[in-house]
């Protein structure tokens, strides 16, 4: 097989034994942006091994779609397996395809419509608890809300409250541990009994025990509660008639808890952060919500009419994609962009770096929701926007996430303005997802614009967010 150094660009200054692993750990977003500038495929060192950062949207699509069978999920997902077992995120091959077929009905659009009532009611209760002029940690508020929504759609009974409480306690330590393990240049770091590693193990064990106990009680009663866990327990493969074991159900529940809480909470945190800096965009959002919803309760069918709301969410997914890094590993020899890769070669794909590529997106560092107007969005190549992945590994909960984000954002906007706290610097933190380091904001009760008023077409501010 031809060697890769002749065709793949290289990043300079790998450290002895550690390679570029410490650079990636210390400042991953800057590291990935610098790698993007080096070419379509960039060779780096992670410990003693070589890995490749793929930057071209067409090559990323080849990895995720065209040649997907030649790749498995990679080191990032190896590190998730102790937490998620063989849930959809980590399962491979036929097991993944079978389980996806069994789980898909839980995310059918008709089911998501029923979840919409849960999303609306829990959000309305949360925002009603806020006090005018009293600062709050919005990132924490949104994390609690999305965990409650996922918990209620998974477990409609009171038992689910115990799982949500355990998620709130355990998930931060689990997410930190997963990220550090995925980016670490050596596996030795996760074997040392440090306080952080002990917290990771303890949190992982506690969360799994709680979910196992709840599933056992569901199985024992045999009652269909109309929630996701009931659907998973009742699902049967059409050809074999087999269902999911309790362990498989547990793995899928943990996957949904992990994938459906922090990702959406961080996405909404970034939307609100941007709106706090951009009164022009905030005014347009409020005007649209007032026009579409008015004084009545939000209905699920309003989702399709909240056009500007969707553009705001889409642009946030571009600039602040929760899944900022994806990994893959070649399972057989494959040629990618003229570079011959051996089986076992690790691949890194960064939606964050891709979505901010100035050769693809005009004014890439400017938050511009109008770039998603139909007449402009067609200029953006489809492979250049992958916040939910692509191919048969594309996030199964994408429709759930879109509905949840729009319902929460519209429900907040109907009642409140969110004002930044002065002199607080909000920074991106690349942990398990792309999170703000902190997000204190002050809710201010707002007066609704007159019914029928069109959203103001205010000029976009020139500065980047």
Q: Given a cut of 70, is residue 374 above it in pLDDT? A: yes
Pick from 432, 400, 410, 417: nearest CA to 105: 400
Tokens of 343: 């089986």
pLDDT at 188: 64
| Residue indicated by tokens 């205010």 | 458
d(CA 326, CA 75): 9
pLDDT at 91: 67
Superfamily designation of domain 96-317+362-371+398-465: Cytochrome P450 (1.10.630.10)
Name which of 10-19, 70-79, 305-314 the model is least confident about: 10-19
d(CA 88, CA 249): 11
Mean per-residue pLDDT of the chain = 85
Name which of 43-47, 118-122, 420-424 the model is least confident about: 43-47
Give 176 or 2, the one with higher predicted confidence: 176
| Residue indicated by tokens 């759930």 | 400
Give the domain ranges of the chain. 1-85+324-355, 96-317+362-371+398-465
Q: How many CB atoms lie within 10 A of CB 59?
A: 22
- DSSP 3-state assignment of 73? coil
pLDDT at 365: 97
Please write the tens of the pLDDT for every residue from 274-315: 999 999 999 999 999 999 999 999 998 898 899 999 999 999
Q: Judge whether 251 and 203 are in contact, CB under 8 Å.
A: no
Band of pLDDT at residue 464, cut at 50, 70 and 90 = very low
d(CA 66, CA 54): 15
Give 392 or 410, the one with higher predicted confidence: 410
Q: Given a cut of 60, is residue 414 above it in pLDDT? A: yes
Give 48 or 357, the one with higher predicted confidence: 357
Band of pLDDT at residue 453, cut at 50, 70 and 90 = very low
Q: Given a cut of 50, is residue 426 above it in pLDDT? A: yes
d(CA 314, CA 276): 17
Please report the DSSP string for 276-305 in residue order: HH-HHHHHHHHHHHHHHTTTS---GGGGGG
Q: Judge whether 20 and 159 are in contact, CB under 8 Å.
A: no
pLDDT at 67: 92
Mean pLDDT of 94-118: 83
Q: Given a cut of 80, is residue 12 above it in pLDDT? A: no
Task: Report the DSSP beta bridge partners of residue 15.
Answer: 19
Q: Given a cut of 60, is residue 450 above it in pLDDT? A: no
| Residue indicated by tokens 């950062």 | 53
d(CA 284, CA 302): 17
Please write the tens of the pLDDT for every residue from 21-49: 777 778 899 999 999 999 999 999 887 78
Tokens of 429: 């933190």
Q: Specify burial of residue 296 (Cβ count, 10 A radius: 0-12, 13-18, 19+).
A: exposed
pLDDT at 241: 81
Rounded to 5°, the CA angle 146-148-152 comes to 120
| Burial readout 302-322 (b: 16 or more C-beta within 10 A, e: otherwise) | bbeebebbbbbbbbbbbbbbb
H/E run at residue 71: strand 71-72
d(CA 377, CA 373): 6
pLDDT at 73: 80
Please write the tens of the pLDDT for every residue from 152-188: 888 877 766 777 777 778 777 777 776 666 656 556 6
Give 104 or 445, the one with higher predicted confidence: 445
Tokens of 283: 């005014």
pLDDT at 449: 53
Pick from 56, 50, 57: nearest CA to 5: 50
Band of pLDDT at residue 264, cut at 50, 70 and 90 = very high
Please report the DSSP string for 330-372 in residue order: ESS-EEETTEEE-TT-EEEE-HHHHHT-TTTSTTTTS--GGGG
pLDDT at 459: 35
Q: Given a cut of 50, is residue 2 above it in pLDDT? A: no
**Is the pTM of the predicted complex or chain greater than 0.85?**
yes
Kindly give the pairing relationship between strand 71-72 and strand 434-436: unpaired
C-beta pairs of 338-344 under 8 Å, 24+ apart in sequence: 338/7, 339/4, 339/7, 339/8, 339/41, 339/52, 340/1, 340/2, 340/3, 340/4, 341/4, 341/52, 342/1
- Strands of 136-137's sheet in order across: 136-137, 440-445, 416-420
Please write the tens of the pLDDT for every residue from 186-198: 566 667 778 888 8
CATH of domain 1-85+324-355: 3.30.43.20
- DSSP 3-state assignment of 141? helix
């Amino acid at each position: 097989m031809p060697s890769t150094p002749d065709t793949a660009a290289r990043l300079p200054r790998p450290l002895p034994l550690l390679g570029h692993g410490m650079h990636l750990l210390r400042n991953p977003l800057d590291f990935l942006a610098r790698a993007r500038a080096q070419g379509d495929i960039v060779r780096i060192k992670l410990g003693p091994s070589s890995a490749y950062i793929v930057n071209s949207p067409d090559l990323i699509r080849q990895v995720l779609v065209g040649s997907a069978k030649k790749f498995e999920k990679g080191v990032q997902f190896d590190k998730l397996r102790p937490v998620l077992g063989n849930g959809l995120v980590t399962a491979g091959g036929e097991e993944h395809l079978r389980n996806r077929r069994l789980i898909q009905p839980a995310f059918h659009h008709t089911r998501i419509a029923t979840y919409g009532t849960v999303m609306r009611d829990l959000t309305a209760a949360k925002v009603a608890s806020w006090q005018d002029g009293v600062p709050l940690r919005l990132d924490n508020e949104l994390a609690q809300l999305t965990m409650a929504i996922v918990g209620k759609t998974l477990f409609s009974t009171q038992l689910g409250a115990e799982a949500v409480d355990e998620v709130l306690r355990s998930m931060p330590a689990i997410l930190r541990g997963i990220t550090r393990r995925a980016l670490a240049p050596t596996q030795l770091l996760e074997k040392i009994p440090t306080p952080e590693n002990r917290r990771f193990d303890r949190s992982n064990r506690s969360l799994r025990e709680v979910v196992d106990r709840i599933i056992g009680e569901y199985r024992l009663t045999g009652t269909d509660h109309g929630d996701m866990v009931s659907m998973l327990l009742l699902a049967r493969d059409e050809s074999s008639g087999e269902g999911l074991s309790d362990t498989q159900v547990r793995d899928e529940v943990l996957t949904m808890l992990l994938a459906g809480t922090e990702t959406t909470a961080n996405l909404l945190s970034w939307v609100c952060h941007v709106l706090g800096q951009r009164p022009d965009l905030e005014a347009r959002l409020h005007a649209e919500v007032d026009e579409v919803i008015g004084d009545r309760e939000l209905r699920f069918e309003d989702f399709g009419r909240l056009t500007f709301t969707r553009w705001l969410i889409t642009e946030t997914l571009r600039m602040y994609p929760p899944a900022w890094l994806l990994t893959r590993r070649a399972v057989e020899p494959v040629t990618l962009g003229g570079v011959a890769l051996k089986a076992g070669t690790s691949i890194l794909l960064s939606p964050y770096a891709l979505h901010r590529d100035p050769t693809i997106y005009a004014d890439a560092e400017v938050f511009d929701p109008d770039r998603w107007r139909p007449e402009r969005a067609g200029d953006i190549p489809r492979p250049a926007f992958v916040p939910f992945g692509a191919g048969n590994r594309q996030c199964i909960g994408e429709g759930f996430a879109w509905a949840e984000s729009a319902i929460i954002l519209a429900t907040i906007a109907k009642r409140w303005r969110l004002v930044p706290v002065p002199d607080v610097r909000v920074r991106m933190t690349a942990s398990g997802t792309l999170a703000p380091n902190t997000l204190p904001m002050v809710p201010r009760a707002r007066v609704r614009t007159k019914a029928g008023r069109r959203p103001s077409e205010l000029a976009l501010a020139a500065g980047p967010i």
